[in-house]
Amino acid sequence: MWPAMPYWPQSGPRKYRERQVNRFCGPGTQAINFAAMGIGSGMQDCVVAGGVESMSRVALGSDCDGQIDGKNLQLRKEIAMVAQGISADLIATLEGFSREELDAFALSSQKKAAAAIEDGRFDKSLFMVVESECKNITCKDEHPRPGSTAESLAGIRIAFEKMGAMAVGPNGETFDDFAFKVYPEAKAIQHMHTGGNSSGIVDGACVVLLGSKEFGEKACLTLLC
């Protein structure tokens, strides 16, 4: 979620417009897209946009008991929806990826992240997280695991198999069954995503300043594009 509304009033008089976006795992990206749309259309000249996720305080699925449709049985009769993890397993099945290939890609990503961090590539983009008592908490990303190996990734259990087998439909259909209705060619979903080769349960936040070329020049800012 991009919590613009609680923070802008602290910056001074209410002379700025703000919007709060909640789009499950993608509000930060959506907020930046909205900002770009506003600038591209000429309706705005400068926008601060970003997102924040605090999964240590708000558990995954806490707003709908872990089910993306809020247990709306009528909706399930009309539209079959499945969680992102099951969707990822479905895509991997349809495209013919193996668990070993997913783990290998994840390991490659971890190695690239470790090398970039060691090289200081992110130093200008990170800032210290501080408690209200001015106690420093961290200035590093939580997600990178530089000590990852092929063996350690292979030992992590499958994440979404039990969810896929959960009976949630009006006639006892499972989430996997919902996926088969749309993609019958799958026949069976090979669940292979884990906490090691998919997005992690971590806290994070980002913010970017977007503006038109005219605004950047007027404000004497360095243009990045």
**Number of residues in the chain:** 225
CA–CA separation, 101 vs 197, rounded Å?
Answer: 10
How much is the pLDDT for 1?
47
- Rounded average pLDDT over 179-186: 91
Domain containing residue 27: 1-54+203-225
How much is the pLDDT for 14?
58
> Does residue 210 share a domain with residue 184?
no
**Tens digit of pLDDT for each residue in 150-170?**
999 999 999 999 999 988 888
CA–CA separation, 44 vs 211, rounded Å?
Answer: 8
> Does residue 152 share a domain with residue 214?
no
To the question of pTM greater than 0.85 for the whole model, the response is no
Asked if the structure places residue 191 within a domain, the reply is yes
> Does residue 176 share a domain with residue 102?
yes
> Does residue 192 share a domain with residue 147?
yes
> Does residue 97 share a domain with residue 45?
no
**Tens digit of pLDDT for each residue in 90-105?**
999 999 999 999 999 9
> Does residue 168 share a domain with residue 142?
yes
CA–CA separation, 49 vs 3, rounded Å?
Answer: 10
- Rounded average pLDDT over 192-219: 92
**Tens digit of pLDDT for each residue in 9-31?**
555 555 667 888 887 778 899 99
Asked if the structure places residue 46 within a domain, the reply is yes
> Does 4 have pLDDT greater than 70?
no
CA–CA separation, 112 vs 52, rounded Å?
Answer: 24
Total domains in the fold of the chain: 2
> Does residue 223 share a domain with residue 122?
no
Asked if the structure places residue 60 within a domain, the reply is no
